[in-house]
A and B are shown apart, each in its own frame.
Chain A
Amino acid sequence: MTDITSLTLTQTLAALKDKKLSKEELNKAYLERIKKLNPSLNAFLFVNEDSGEIPVAIKDLISVKDMPMTCGSKILENYIPPYNATVIDRLASQGVSFCGKTNLDEFAMGSSGENSAYGPAKNPWNLVKVPGGSSSGSAVAVAADMAVFALGTDTGGSIRQPASLCGVVGLKPSYGRVSRYGAQAMASSLDQIGPITKSVADARLVLEWISGGGGHDSNCHAKPFVTLSETKGIYSSASPQNDRMLKEIKVGVPKEYFGKGLDSEVEKVIRDAIKKLGDLGAEIVEVALPHTEYAVAAYYIIMASEVSANLARYDGIRFGKNRDQFGDEAKRRIMLGTFSLSSGYYDAYFTKAARVRTLIKKDFDIAFEKCDVIVGPVSPTVAWNLGGKINDPLTMYLSDAYTIPGSLTGIPGLSVPCGFADGMPVGLQILGKHMDEETVLNVGEIYENVTDWKDKKPNMSS
């Protein structure tokens, strides 16, 4: 069998089942590709040559027992987790093995991958461009076919944005859908683990595998995600029912996601994608998310406050090095968060941000009375040049303006490839109601099936 590594997860499972492919061949093909491409892409920080099942890449802040974990930081250079994250146990029980740990912005703090203490991962579509972040290595690994799929984490867009910039599918599940146990926390009230995959069908399957509580994450709903039986299978082929299904769907378009700062080429691609949804029978409705302008500010206060406490466990005693080994962005956020929580500023910063969070959440509640999903761009621009924003933290923060509101609200968000601008991939963001991944995935999968974006691959031969 040729081109093993370009198969999606569902295709790989079928090939294994039909004995067109053995697990040995599968792992050999991926390992060869990792060895060939990783020196230029820097997607993996650790490669496990003993992977024997379906080879999957794991963002290097999710604990895999006895496999080194750095969180992209110098501080954890020699750390080896003594336990498995819940999602790791789940995947292992589904016949998955872990081919490596992927590069990331230090402690998931960044939107470009450049905050990694181990050098940035590179965008496979253009090696001088950033892959996005913070799940940069996971998105690169999937885009360059170095893993069947990958797990990332998303706090303010860290799955959706690199997926968009690398031209792959990325799903941030609803807050409470997937157990966070075992993933180093960045901002506990926002973090979710989710899949980065080669197709929407893959994301759906992986979500079924990893969702549901394991008795360790108190915020995780006990019941796993299961695709409704009546819709199962409908979307994996160009079934005539697709048309009927989208006809019942109202797609909300918020004007706040098409304002200042959105690149005009990106906007054109997104508008085309929305038109396509309309062509497929969906009703396109305008919705308002009036507090969007405050989202980044509220997010940075809340996120940084939680960061300041979540990174307090690093004292160099039980694991890791001393606190002076934190990188620049980690220190900046610890400082911002500590300040926001400190006496005299707590109400004006932390509490104020938490109140604004309520307003943003209410925006979505009201909007979802008029529609089933909300669509728009994932990122205001395509991937930018490495080094382009690194000295301006605030500009970097603003590049997450479209993913952050959904994070604050805890709703699911999917990034689906929907075209190219300036030769670089663009992702369509599909946001849904809390715990309604079903509809989000349905819309994404129908769109994906009638377009051929997912078949476009970066040219890695040169």
Chain B
Amino acid sequence: MNKVYETVIGIEVHVELNTKTKMFCRCSADYFGKKPNTHTCPVCLGIPGALPYINEEAIKKCMRIGLALNCSVNEQSYFERKNYFYPDLAKGYQISQLVKPLNINGQLEVEDESGVTSMIRINRVHQEEDTGKLTHVGSETLIDFNRSGVPLVEIVTEPDFHSSAQVKDYAKKLQQIFRYLGVSNADMERGDMRLEANVSVRPVGQKELPPYRVELKNINSFRFMQAAIEYEIKRQIWVLERGETLTQETRGWNETKKETYLQRSKEEAHDYRYFPEPDLPELKIDTLQLRELLRKQLPELPAQKVKRFFDEYGLNKAQIAMMADSKEMAEFFEEAVKVGSKYKVESIKVANFIINKKVNIEDINPEQLIKDIVNQNTGMISDEKELEKVVKEVIDENSKAVEDFKAGKEVALQVIIGSVMKKTKGKAEIKKVKEILEGVLKS
């Protein structure tokens, strides 16, 4: 880490909600991979006379995100029009929130690479709508409005990050929270979740924010974002050390060259002319009642789960990270622990077995998992396929006994079973061996 300069980063995350319909009309929001302009209506096409109508489910999901990030809910919230011209913006304004977002003043704890934790302040979690999608072909641009109006939640932090590792941890934690809450698939590659980092550096000891910031945009993986931030820190320090000044600009990431590149320099700041959206009455939220209601619906969140897994099961950090990675994994683990307690299988053993055997929770249920663990403990071969393999080997090696058996000599079977037991050093269940044997010989 550079000792002269300190990095200052703020993050904006956009996440598309997985509601059935769009934010302000009832077109299906399931636009991915659909034929162009087949999920549109007058509202999301911005046709003369069309008006927006709020999707209640989106508001609930936005508030759940706010709650999960320890935000306060604004008792009075309203939408505003953000005015700018771009061909993917049907109405010539985006309906968004500036003055009265749904959620404000939250926080989330992040870790850096050495495990040191710090608290990131979240400025706001607000609701807005997505734009259409542009495809550039030669000198033309094709526009598809299927995505236009899909609910988008924006989460803006204060400039509290000081390293790319913190940013990566933050982004991963957010993604995990979205999935835990079931509000979004939060797939980076598909663009469900988008990161923007505002990166600048300042001399160590300086309190004020740097007079510029470089916006890193359109970067669709955690890894690339981390690399881009690393590169940007080095570039900015290099520029400053040469006595030059840095200016406000937007940069992208070139993965082939492993460097950031200039997308747009901001000669003058945008003037979005925000004003309250006259087509939508304001939202008045009974915060107490709502918090109570939403909290009941709120699942246990990753951070709480991690703490509980430590307290309750005594797992170590690496084990917890695996067991609480997704809601589904955590549920499987806890169910298995419950079954395991009847067989005196400890929770740590359950976790280790899942991790070491790379258990796919979609292929097995918790009861079977515990059976496998128990059998492994007693040394018995529980895997039927393994046993079958041994049986077949024995059959190949004892063609005489097989012929005798087929000729009607029942005793010959005992010979074969004996060979199997010998081969498995007695770790096979005789009943099971007999079953398999009969199955194979009779077929």
Contacts and interface: CB of A to CB of B under 8 A. Distances in A.
Indicate yes or no for A touching B, C-beta below 8 A.
yes
Nearest to A338: B273
Interface in B3-53: 41-42, 45-53
Nearest to B86: A315
Given A309-B93, A342-B271, A218 B52 contact: yes
A305 B47 contact: no
A240 B334 CA distance: 82
Interface stretch (B69-77, B198-206, B278-286, B368-376): B278-286
A343 B271 contact: yes
A338 B271 CA distance: 10
Contacts of A350: 275
A309 B92 contact: yes
B51 A181 contact: yes
B273 A346 contact: yes
Nearest to B84: A312
Contacts of B145: 318
A181 B24 CA distance: 13
Nearest to A217: B51
Given A305-B275, A312-B91, A318-B90, A181 B49 contact: yes
A217 B46 CA distance: 14
A154 B204 CA distance: 61
A216 interface: yes
B85 A312 contact: yes
A318 B45 contact: yes
Nearest to B82: A309
Given A180-B51, A341-B273, A82 B92 contact: no
Which of B48, B49, B93 has the most CB atoms of chain A within a 10 A radius of its CB?
Answer: B48
B284 to A, nearest CB: 14
A63 to B, nearest CB: 5
B16 to A, nearest CB: 23
B424 interface: no
A62 interface: yes
A63 B273 contact: no
Interface in A59-90: 61-63, 69, 71, 76, 79, 81-83, 85
Contact of A318 (B47, B51, B52, B275): B47
Interface stretch (A33-41, A184-192, A427-435): A184-192
Contacts of A355: none
Interface string B243-280: 00000000000000000000000000101011100111
B93 A315 contact: no
Interface residues of A, number: 43
Contact of B46 (A180, A181, A313): A313
Contacts of B281: 218-219
A306 interface: yes
B87 A341 contact: no
A224 to B, nearest CB: 18
B302 to A, nearest CB: 36
Interface in B87-117: 87, 90-93
A216 B90 CA distance: 18
Contacts of A188: 278-279
Given A315-B92, A341-B273, A342-B271, A181 B87 contact: no
A183 interface: yes
B413 interface: no
Interface residues of B, number: 31
Nearest to B280: A218
Contacts of B47: 81-83, 313, 318-319
Which of A71, A181, A350 has the most CB atoms of chain B within a 10 A radius of its CB?
Answer: A181
B83 interface: yes
Interface string A174-211: 00000011111101110000000000000000000000
Contacts of A180: 49, 51
Contacts of A317: 87, 143
Nearest to B46: A313
Nearest to A180: B51
Which of A79, A216, A319 has the most CB atoms of chain B within a 10 A radius of its CB?
Answer: A216
Interface string A144-169: 00000000000000000000000000
A350 B47 CA distance: 26
A215 interface: yes
B54 interface: yes
A309 B83 contact: yes
Contacts of A63: 48-49
B126 interface: no
B28 to A, nearest CB: 17
A317 B54 CA distance: 26
B61 interface: no
A451 to B, nearest CB: 37
Which of B51, B92, B145 has the most CB atoms of chain A within a 10 A radius of its CB?
Answer: B51
Contacts of A82: 42, 47
B49 A185 contact: yes
Given A81-B48, A82-B42, A312 B278 contact: no
Contacts of A338: 273
A215 B53 contact: yes
Which of A81, A180, A341 has the most CB atoms of chain B within a 10 A radius of its CB?
Answer: A341
Contact of B49 (A182, A215, A308, A314): A182
Contacts of A62: 49
A187 B278 CA distance: 8
B45 to A, nearest CB: 6
Interface in A291-311: 305-306, 308-309, 311
A306 B278 contact: yes
B48 A69 contact: yes
B48 A313 contact: yes
B147 interface: no
B276 to A, nearest CB: 8
B81 interface: yes
Contacts of A312: 83, 85, 91-93
A191 B407 CA distance: 98
Which of A215, A217, A318 has the most CB atoms of chain B within a 10 A radius of its CB?
Answer: A318
B271 A313 contact: no
A216 B281 CA distance: 13
Contacts of A217: 51, 279
Given A81-B48, A318-B46, A338-B273, A216 B279 contact: no
A184 B273 contact: no
B43 to A, nearest CB: 8
Nearest to B81: A309
8 contacts: A62-B49, A183-B49, A309-B91, A309-B92, A309-B93, A318-B45, A342-B273, A350-B275
The 7 tightest CB contacts between A and B, nearest first, are A312-B92, A189-B278, A341-B273, A188-B278, A184-B48, A313-B46, A182-B49
